[in-house]
Each structure stands twice: as C-alpha cells, then as structure tokens.
A and B are shown apart, each in its own frame.
Chain A
Amino acid sequence: MNNTDAALFKDKKMGFLIYLGIEAIMFMVLFMTYTIFTPPTKDPFPADIFEIKTVVLASVFLLSSSVTLFLSDKYLKKERKTPFIIWLVLTFLLAAAFLGVEINEFASYVQQGYTTSSNVFMGAFYVLVGLHAAHVVFGIGWMIILFIHHIRKIPAPLFLSKQTIFSYYWHFVDLIWVLIIIIVYVPYL
C-alpha cells in the first residue's frame, strides 16, 4: 500500500468501526426490548416454541463461518489466491446454510400461527432476530460482490481494504448472534 491508500484505508476503518458502534447501539435497544417483554403473559411462550436442535445447527454454521473468513483473510494477506478463495467460498456456503436454517425456523413458526401479532414476545423476537437475519442476507450479497471484484482483478490494496471492511462486518454479525443465543434462546431452552 502506498501512502494515500494507507491513510484513506485508516479513515475508512475508523469510520466503519464507528458505524458498527451505531449498529451495536441499535441491537442493544432491541435486546432491551426483548428482555422487557419476555416472557409474555399469554401464549405462545418462548419455552414452548424454541428448539435446541435449530439453535445449535444455526450456531454451528454461523460461528464456523467466522473461522473460515478469518483463514481466508490470512491467506489474502499472504497473497495465496487459491486457499483464499476456497475459504471465502466456504464462508459463503456456511452463511447460506445458516440463512436456510433461519428461514426454516421462521416458516415453521408462521405455519404454527405464531406471527408478529401473536403476542409481544413474538413481535420482539421477530424484530430482533429478523434484523439480524437481514444483516446475514446483506452479508451474503456483499460476498457475491467481493467475488466479482476478485475476478475483475481490481488493484490489490483496494481489494484488501474491501475484504477487511467486510470481515469486520461479518465478525460483528457473528458477535450479535452469540448475544442472541445468550439472551434470546438459552434462558428458555
């Protein structure tokens, strides 16, 4: 990286970390909302609808995607293209698998008649976990764009900066999922 690239990259990193701080505050308020309204006073209760199997499966997919992305980053810095792309593709697949589990979970709730209007717990659940799922969808789209950038062979320092910002984002989304496990699911499993 030359002087300009390095300086602007540092600006971007700081700006994005502040942005993640903003996201953290957003999720904090939603976690607060969830804890205020859960458990609810009427049906459905979280203990009746959460399934340990789904939570474990989703967590395995999403948390391991953080590890694969970390490895992908490592090989990018070493400029070893093949392992880099393999680990990034794996990250993509794990994210898609997580999303599949999430969609399945939401669909099964809706089939059982548990929608946003069922009670205030379901509402708080959907706005929180749904916003997180939206972040995963956004991340998957972002990865597709990264692949295209990689194929187009944009300048190496530029690609490194794009990939680094994405990995900040992805690790943050993972961290939120850990908090979702602890605050949303575990107390009621």
Chain B
Amino acid sequence: MNWSEITVHIPFFGESIFLTIDVFIAWILLIVLVIGAIVYAFRKRKFPVIRDYLYTTNHRKVGTLYMIFGFIFFLRAGLDALFIRLQLALPNNNFMDFQLEKYNETFTSHGTMMIFFAAMPMLIGLMNIAVPLQIGAKDLAFPFLNAVSLWLFVAGGVMFGSAYFLNSSPAIGWTGYAPYSTAVYTPGAATNFYVFGVQISGLGTIFAALNMIVTIVRHRAPGMKLIRMPLFPWASLVTSFLIVIAFTVLAIALYLLMFDRLFGTSFFGGEEGDPVYWQHLFWFFGHPEVYVLALPAFGLFSDIISSFSKKPIFGYPAMVISLALIGFLGFMVWAHHMFTVGLGPMVNTFFAVTTMTIAIPTGIKVFNWIFTMHGGSLKTTTPMLFAIGFIPSFVMGGVTGVMLAVSAADFQLHDTHFVVAHFHYVILASTILGIFAGLYYWYPKITGYQLNETLGKWHFWLFLIGYHMTFLPMHLTGMQGLPRRVYTYGSDEGMTALNFTSTIGASLMGVSIVILVWNIWQTNRQGILVGDDPWDGRTLEWSVASPSPEDTFTPMPFIECTDPFWDAKTKGQKLKTAPNPRPAPIDEHTVLPFLMALAVLVIGFGLIYQSYLTAGIGGVAIFALFIIRSFRDEHTSFHKEGARHE
C-alpha cells in the first residue's frame, strides 16, 4: 500500500489542504481526546478548577500550567521521535509515509517542539513553582506578566502544533537554515508556522526571564543574601540573563526572516543576501540556548544531591562562579556549529579553544557533585536516582563535546549521527533527567501528594537504559558516516544492528513515559497527602504548606545561613521571623493574559496565511486589551480598595 496516495481535500483560507491518511487519523484521535476531556470535566465537575487556572496569576498555578502544556508537547514531540526511529529501524524501510519530505517534517517538528515547547516550558514551570518558595518571595515580581508569558508560550505551541494537523508542517530543520527557509525554496504556510510559532513563544520566554530576574534580585526574604540562595535560584538567575540576550537576538533573526518571506527583503538569500548571516544570528542564540536548557538542571541537581546526601553542597562559591562562567563563555562559542562553513583556520581555532574552555567550569561542577555525595548519608529516592544517573551520562556527552570541538575532526563528524548522539547525550542527561528529577522532587509542593517511588524507579531505570541504548550506537554509526536528516540507509552498510538497537532503546523510553503518566494518574487518584516536608529537605520551600498556598511566608522568615530550614530543624528551633518584610506583589484574578495570547494567535495565523485582514483584527484586539489593562490594572483596584478601607 502506498500511504502518500491516500488523501483528503479540505478548503482552508483559500487554499486546499491535502490531508494524508496519518494526518486524518491524527484529527480523529484529537477530536476523540478533546471530547473525552470535555466529558471527563463535566462528569467530575472540573469547570470551576479550569476557570480558576484560566484566570490565575499565582506562581505555583502558572508553573503547573507550564508543566502540563510542556508535557503535552513533550508527548507529541516524543511520538515524532518514535516515528523517526521506526523509519530508521531497518535499512530501506518504508514505515507508513515517513519518507522523504514527511521525514523532514517529522524531525523538524521533533527538534523544534522538544526545545521550544517541551524542555524550555517545563524548566520555566519548575522555576515558577520552586524559585519563589526557595527564596522566600510571596510571588513573582509581576504576576500578571507571568500569566502573559505562560499564555504566549501556549499560543506559540498550539500554533506550531497545529501545522501538522493542517498538513503544512515545516520541513526546514529546527535551525531553519537560510536560504532554504526563505520564500524562494519553501513558499507557503509551512515555514511560516516555524517563524511565528517560535517567535510568539520566544516573546513569552523573554518576559518570563525578565520577571525571574526582578523577582530574584528584589524579592528575597530578609537576610537571604545572594550568597545564601540555594543553587536552583542561582541557576535560574544566570539562565534568565542568557535568555534575555539570546532570545532577543533570535527574535530579531526571525523578524528579519519574516521580512524575507513576506515583505520582499533579501537578507538571507538572493544575490545580495547572506545565508551565513542567518547562521551567525541563529547560533548566537542557539548555543546559549543549550546552556539555558542545562543550567537550571545543574542548579536543580545541586539542591537534590545536597538534600539526599544530608550535606551542604560542596564548594558553594565554586558552584556559583562556575554557573556564571559557563553562562559567560556560552556567548563565545557559537561558531563551533559552523566549522565547515569556511570561516578560516583562525576563526575555527578561536572557537575551538573557547569551546574546550567550557569543559573546565563544567568539570568543577561534576567534581563538586561527587564530593557532595562523598561521605554523605545517601538516600536513593527517585529524584536522587535521576541525579546520580545524570552525572556519568552527562560526562559522556561532555567528552564527545570536546571531541567535536576539535575543528579538524569536526569536518568528519559534522552533520552525522555522532552529532545527534552528542547533543542528545547532553540535553537528555541534563534537561530531561533534570525535569523528571524536579517533577518527583517538587510534586508534593505542586499537589500535596508524593509520586509512587516504586513506579518512579521503574521509570528511571527504563528511561536510563533506553536512553543509552538509543544514543550510544549512534556514536558508531555517526563515525561510519551515517548522515543525520536522511531517512534511510543501505542494507550493505553494516549499520542495521546498531540502528535496530537504537529503535529498541527509543521504545524503552516510550514505555518509561507511559509508566510516568500512569504514576501521575494513580497518585492523583489515590490522593494521599504527605505533609509539608516529605523529603526531610534543607531549603525554605519545605517550610511552607503542601501544596503551596496562595499566601506563603506569613510570617516572613529571617534567613541567617544557607539551608536555613535544615539549620532550624537540627537546632530544634523554628525559623526566625522578620518583623517588616517588603510589600508583596498584588495577586489578581484576570482573564486578560489569556485573551492577549489569543489575540496574538489570531495575528500569527493571519500572517501565516497572509490574510492581513485577520492579522489586523488580531492587532486591534491586542491594542484594545492593552488599553483595558491600563485602566483596570491591579494597582488601580488596590488603591480603590485602600480608599474604601479608609
């Protein structure tokens, strides 16, 4: 059967959409899922809860929504990964219609969604949930803006995700390399979905980072000096600075690409434009982005390792300095993605050296984690298992990183599965294991329940084994020359066994995710409350109720050391209280952030299909919402209430 010949035609925005059979099945599944969710919500009377979350600006609730939507996109991008692996399982394979252009669409969706709509939001979600609780802030500095960030990310993700359902998935790779991404080579809606989906969610990310910086700088509890902060807030602070710089550059790169595609400029293509300029802009964002993904995980693992070793973190100042150093060096290495472009031996050498330099602060961190565990009384809970699994896995990715930094060797390894193995080793080990560890660790603070430890350990072992099984063989196939982004290979190339192993590994990871979903479902259904401090923690978040209430830290604690909660517990005292804490941000209940994101979504769709009327309607709506916001902001109502009380 030839899958690609079965199509359905549907008119849309003046274009006819060809639905291949897999898209058609996806539509039916989506409709069934949505109807199922609505019926479930009706039966269980969940609408007040949904309404509450739609209107909320509370950091824990916004963070939870970040996690939920991030996880949904994670499942979608994970399915893409399974399709890729099934297609590559055997030589000259024809798995459904995932060949040629469809294969390109699948790896593009996989990469873009995993990075922008799964990993980033889940990390930002954890920051939202944990950072205010760890530093003694009552909420983020700008609760309204926080909700705007969230809904912008959701709008961008929904927009990008809908591309597949309209059978116009972008097929340009997550890097969107010009001139292929310009209108000359990829006209039509597909690439526009990439441009606007990433742009909109990137905007939300920038605001989230701005919010995080002001919160960490200005909203710490009295006595919580910067050098007394836990390492997760530290990592979040450094990450936020990286986001503010890197994502802004990406925003302008996409802005220029939008002009190239829609309004006739030619920055990245044509006889005057320069495709390499896109590469510079993209990787000036793209490399710091790698540290945006990794640093929060570093911070999180530091706190988890210290908690479950019953010891303060080893070499705290070195940990902070190495975080900052990695962040700083992260901006000086972008051209190592471009060794084969032909920038010349001097440039390549410079970037090779700076790239290798990053191994030094990273190595410091690895040794400090190990020294923290050394001589501690270890408790191998699920979060701690993820932390322990992270260290050797990440080091393996780091070592191949140094190999790739040798620019001469990179000419051989560039764009092969070796590179795929390398970046999956570092990103999965740090970010994804980190997100899982954080989820298990802070689940009591999010819901009041603790995820099942037995299922958690099954999840961990299956995932870790599957992960190494998938990506370890890719080093070998890559060195044998298997190029990435190519949908098949010959049966005489001796790569069949290795590729098949990879596919088995990917399925194991898939099974482990099913176990995680089952675990979450069961835990919430049983609803066993575990109290404020189930892990016998060290930092402030364990001193507030579980799940964290809307009004935390009343009375406000006074901090005199790192690990204040542990210090108080061991002395058998309560936390000291501060008499005059700073005023808290004003919490509010508003649907405006959601509506703003909706308006932006309308603008985006208008521009994608070049229906400028639609875009104009969205534009009018967003400005109307700005004006409404200006007249009904929380400060005005706060003053009105104050006047009434007087």
Contact = CB atoms under 8 A, between A and B. Distances in A.
Same complex origin of A and B: yes
A117 B271 CA distance: 12
Interface residues of A, number: 40
Interface stretch (A4-12, A60-68, A90-98, A105-113): A4-12
Given A26-B251, A119-B272, A158-B636, A36 B277 contact: yes
Nearest to B243: A22
A141 interface: yes
B272 A127 contact: no
Contacts of A33: 252, 256, 267, 277
B369 to A, nearest CB: 32
Contact of A18 (B244, B251, B267): B244
A14 B142 CA distance: 11
A123 B259 contact: yes
B252 A26 contact: yes
A123 B265 contact: yes
Interface string B46-58: 0000000000000
A187 interface: no
A26 B248 contact: yes
B259 A127 contact: yes
B628 to A, nearest CB: 11
B141 interface: yes
Interface string A1-37: 0011101101110110011011001100110010011
Interface in B249-285: 249, 251-253, 255-256, 259, 263-267, 270, 272-274, 277, 281
Interface stretch (B115-123, B155-163, B210-218, B462-470): B210-218
A37 B244 contact: no
A37 B260 CA distance: 14
Interface stretch (B87-95, B578-586, B610-618): B578-586
Contact of A7 (B145, B213, B270, B583): B583
Given A14-B214, A119-B272, A158-B635, A3 B583 contact: yes
A120 B263 CA distance: 12
B206 interface: yes
A15 B244 contact: no
A168 B264 CA distance: 34
B255 A127 contact: yes
Nearest to B244: A22
Contact of B259 (A7, A18, A116, A119): A116
Q: In terms of DSSP, what is the predominant structure of the interface of chain B?
A: helix
A77 interface: no
Contacts of B145: 15
B57 to A, nearest CB: 14
A46 to B, nearest CB: 14
A15 B142 contact: yes
Given A8-B635, A42-B272, A15 B210 contact: yes
Contacts of A149: 630-631
9 contacts: A5-B635, A8-B583, A15-B210, A33-B267, A36-B277, A116-B259, A120-B266, A124-B267, A141-B623
Interface of B: 141-142, 145, 206, 210-211, 213-214, 217-219, 244-245, 248-249, 251-253, 255-256, 259, 263-267, 270, 272-274, 277, 281, 582-583, 585-586, 623, 627, 630-631, 635-636, 638-639, 643
Which 5 pairs from chain A and chain B are nearest by CB?
A: A123-B265, A117-B264, A4-B583, A120-B272, A29-B252
Interface of A: 3-5, 7-8, 10-12, 14-15, 18-19, 21-22, 25-26, 29-30, 33, 36-37, 40-42, 115-117, 119-120, 123-124, 126-127, 141, 145, 149, 154-155, 158, 161
